Amino acid sequence: MKLLLSCLRLVNKLIPGYVKKINTKGGNFALMENIAAVQKGMRQYGVPEDELFQPVDLFEARNIKAVVKSLAALARTVISFFVDVRLRRLMILVFEC
């Protein structure tokens, strides 16, 4: 549950306001909605489909390794995004001179 809440907060930091409702209480359905929101946010940010974990991996803590691999893919995507942005800004500065 803690890992899921951390993932939800991370997605909300990357895409502000993306997860409108974080279900902290409720049954399995509420938890699965949270997991679906994390996966959808990761897809939206650009994580390839083949690098996403399966909902059951996190829900039942069946394959935490797959969840960690997905988070690593998200980190790689975030880093490449910011590197691209900085390179574009640098190129604009260089070519303006």
pLDDT digits (tens, 9 = 90+) for 30-67: 888 888 888 998 998 899 999 999 999 988 888 989 99
Tell me the average pLDDT across 69-95. Answer: 82
Residue 10's alpha-carbon distances to 17, 40, 57, 91, 95, in angstroms, are 11, 13, 18, 30, 35
For the beta carbon of residue 19, count every other beta carbon within 10 angstroms: 20
Span 2-96 CATH architecture: Orthogonal Bundle (1.10)
Tokens of 27: 């049954």
pTM of the model: 0.75
pLDDT at 97: 56
**How high does pLDDT run on average in the chain?**
85
41, 19 Cβ separation under 8 angstroms: yes
**Structural domain spans, the chain:** 2-96
Burial of 5 by CB count in 10 Å (0-12 exposed, 13-18 middle, 19+ buried)? middle
